Amino acid sequence: MNGFHTDRDGCAVASFAPEEAALLVQLAGESAELVDQARRTDALPTDPAVIRLLPDAYPQDPAASAEFRRFTTDGLAQRKILNARIVVEMLAGSEGSDPIVVRLDDVASLAWLRTITDIRLVLGARLGIVQDGDEGDIHDDETALLRALFDWLAFLQETLIDVLDSSLEQ
């Protein structure tokens, strides 16, 4: 498991085993599907993961929240779907046995950061992680795997942020 590093041109680069790439493709697609389904309905979301992806702007004022949601949900969901699509397209071809190398420009870096964040929000909601320091509800192999994925994505996110921070310092 490798994280992101800087190449000599200052771009963020990472290499993923085919299994890792396939997993990222699946998780990005699932988070995009969640927001796509949510934007296609007028009902308030009840899924904790969707609530984290498309949060309520005014929890104490249902009318203001509904109005805000009416004007913002579609655009926010479309941006989240586009970011996930960028990640998925960059990982295309993960069927072979060779590592998939991604090289991110500024736009792709932001799409990756946002998509990783969205995936972690979904996983955190599924695990019951509410704030930093929470371990989540790990009670079987499936939830242990979700927690491992949550931590791996945190590592990827941190290494990408480190690369971006170092490029700002130069």
pLDDT in tens, 103-115: 999 899 999 999 9
* Beta carbons within 10 angstroms of residue 165's beta carbon: 9
Task: Please determine, for residue 62, whether its predicted confidence score (pLDDT) is greater than 80.
Answer: yes
Residues 87/3, Cβ–Cβ less than 8 Å = no
**Of the ranges 33-37, 63-67, 128-132, which is most confident?**
33-37
Task: Please determine, for residue 47, whether its predicted confidence score (pLDDT) is greater than 80.
Answer: yes
Q: What is the pLDDT of residue 94?
A: 57
Residue 130 CB partners (closer than 8 Å, separation 6+):
124
Tokens of 34: 């969640």
Inside any domain, residue 127: yes
Residue span of the structural domain in which 50 resides: 5-163
Inside any domain, residue 170: no
Q: Phi-psi bin for 128: left (phi > 0), alpha (psi -120 to 50), beta?
A: left
Task: Please determine, for residue 1, whether its predicted confidence score (pLDDT) is greater than 70.
Answer: no
Tally of domains in the chain: 1
Inside any domain, residue 169: no
Tell me if the pTM is above 0.85.
Answer: yes
Give me the residue label for tokens 């805000």. Answer: 68
Tokens of 94: 């993960």
Calculate the average pLDDT of the chain: 91
Inside any domain, residue 44: yes
What value does the mean pLDDT take over residues 5-27? 93
Please report, for residues 39, 65, 82, 126, the alpha-carbon distance to residue 72 in angstroms, rounded to integers and kept in the order given.
10, 10, 16, 25
Inside any domain, residue 52: yes
Inside any domain, residue 168: no
User: Which of 166, 114, 158 has the alpha carbon at shortest distance from 7?
Assistant: 166
Task: Please determine, for residue 11, whether its predicted confidence score (pLDDT) is greater than 80.
Answer: yes
